[in-house]
Each structure stands twice: as structure tokens, then as C-alpha cells.
Amino acid sequence: MVKKAMKSAKESNQERLEKVLKARQLALKMISNVTYGYTAAGFSGRMPCAQLADTIVQTGICTLEAAVRLIEGRSDWNANVVYGDTDSVFVLLKGRSKADAFRIGQEIADTVTVSNPKPVTLKLEKVYMGCVLVSKKRYVGYKYESPAQDVGVIESKGIETVRRDSCGVVQNAMQSSLQTLFTSCDLSKVKIGLEKYWLQILENRVPLKDFVFAKEVRLGTYTNGSAPPAALVSTKAMGKDPRAEPRYAERVPYIVVNGPPGARLVDLVVSPNDFFDKRMRYSVNYHYYIDKQVRHLDDARL
């Protein structure tokens, strides 16, 4: 109900109402999550009740499994559920058009809704005309929200295009590759686009800010020799100024620079401040970004 009201407020440009509804949605989610968390906790919890927590989980599992059986049991739909998580299902309609996908998707939503007690409702949210499922809670698709929509929109969840610990070079390369893949369905064009981007990197035509990583640091939790690059950058900064100690889980920026052959990654990372110090004369390690970040990721995904 809140989601429907939010959509209506957005379509009518009622920004104030939309903000109020977003806050209400967040409050409902928080109440649900906190209730489950309190009851699922052990003897140290405030309201331990494992039976209630287990019932919540099992009810969700049973509802999802029943929906999968119903969807795959209809021969006229010829549908396969390829992914399901908590309150959603991804249904593959192989070889169907966009119009068919929306029609069958709505039939599926209506049928599953009728099969469940109120207020459980399955809603058709979108159609992906092209989708890459990486792992649980990590996927990307070319999204259409209505049959009348002519141009799709890339929607990413949990992958490098939206992850905050990735750098701009990786995000730009991935976004461009996905756009080319979904619009052309031609991997050779993706390869050509990546080669052009690599050339831009090697010719120093990519902004320096795109080479900056920013990863969380939790000093005091690492064993000897296991500290990640961001933690080492923080330690170096603290050696110069103890006040530079980062807060717990604070994101610390760094850049990978060139060094002697065979050098470890941890020996090649510097803070942006050190990089811009003219006395240091650092240079960006372009080959690391191309070989270990961009090419590695695109090979893994595509």
C-alpha cells in the first residue's frame, strides 16, 4: 500500500508526500527487522524467542516455494524460475517478446496473489530484456517498467557499478560494457569498446579521480601480514600525524602506483595527498587497473 502511494506521489510530483511515505516505508521495515532480530537473538538478546523467528523464516520459505511450484506447473506459461529471494522471483520466459512478458508476468502475479491469504500480494514490477545473474543479491538487467517504454534502463544490484568500494575506472568500464551488451547483444562490440577504453587509460585521457579506491578500514582487527591496502595507507598517514587515525569502518582513499618489478600490491598503494606531492613523482599503475580490475571483472561477468 505504501509503495503504491509512493509511486502515485512521484507521478504527481508531490515531493513532500513522497518523502513522508519513504520515511513511513523505512519505519515499517525497521520495525519488522528489529522484531525479527530481537526474537532471533540467543540468551543475550532482549526478547529471545527462537520459535517465532524460525516461524517467520519458514513462512517466507513456504510462500516462495509454493509460488515457484505454481509458476513452473503451468504449461501454458512455459516459465522457469531462475532466482528467488525472500519476497521476489525472477521468471525466465525464453523467446518471448516484451509484450508477451508483461502479459504473462501480470497473469503470474494475479494467480500467485489469489493463491495466498490476504494481504500477501505478488506484484509485477519490471521486465528485464537481458539480465546477468551473478550470485545472490548481485545482478544487473535492462529494465522496462511498462509495455509502452521504448528504451530500457540498466538496473544494477550489488555489482561493481554501484559498489562504493570500487573505483571509477571499473564502474565506467562495466557500465559501458553492459550498455553495449544489452543494446546490441554482441560481445565483439563489448570487446571493441573495452579496447578503446584501455587505450584512453594508457594515453592518460582518463581523469585521475577515476583511479581512486575508497575502502573501509577497521584498524585493530587485522592479523600480521593481512592488512588490506587501505589499512596500510592509514598506518602510514598515522606515522606522520597520529590525528589521521580513521574512524572504525571509515573509507580510506588510495591509488595504485608504479613500482619495481615483482613488488607486492601493498607496496604500491599511496594516498591521494602523497600522490599529488610533487617531491614523490608517483605515476598511476595503468597496467594494474587494466589487467587486475577492468579486464578481470569483465572476463568474470561476460
Half-sphere exposure of 91 (CA within 13 A, CB side): 33
pLDDT digits 0-9 by tens, 43-71: 666 778 888 888 888 999 999 999 999 99
pLDDT digits 0-9 by tens, 244-276: 999 999 999 999 999 999 899 999 999 999 998
Q: How confident is the model at residue 57, as a pLDDT?
A: 87
Pairing mode, strands 213-217 and 250-256: antiparallel
Helix axes 2-11, 15-40, angle to 10 degrees: 160
CATH superfamily of 161-302: B family DNA polymerase, thumb domain (1.10.132.60)
Rounded Cα distance, 263 and 54, in Å: 50
pLDDT digits 0-9 by tens, 106-147: 999 999 999 999 889 999 999 999 999 988 889 999 999 999
Can you say whether the dihedral through the CA atoms of 33, 35, 39, 41 is positive or negative?
Answer: positive
The pTM of this model reads 0.79
In this structure, are residues 124 and 141 in contact, taking their beta carbons and an 8 Å threshold? no
In this structure, are residues 181 and 293 in contact, taking their beta carbons and an 8 Å threshold? no
Rounded Cα distance, 135 and 192, in Å: 27
pLDDT digits 0-9 by tens, 209-238: 999 999 999 998 888 778 899 999 999 999
Q: Where are the domains of the chain?
A: 1-48, 58-159, 161-302
Q: How confident is the model at residue 9, as a pLDDT?
A: 79
Higher pLDDT, 101 or 12: 101
Half-sphere exposure of 4 (CA within 13 A, CB side): 5
Half-sphere exposure of 210 (CA within 13 A, CB side): 19
- Going by C-beta distance under 8 Å and a sequence separation of 6 or more, which residues neighbour residue 225? none
Considering 1-5, 107-111, 158-162, 260-264, the range whose residues carry the highest mean pLDDT is: 107-111
Chosen CATH of 58-159 out of 3.90.1600.10, 3.40.50.1980, 3.50.50.60, 3.90.1150.10: 3.90.1600.10
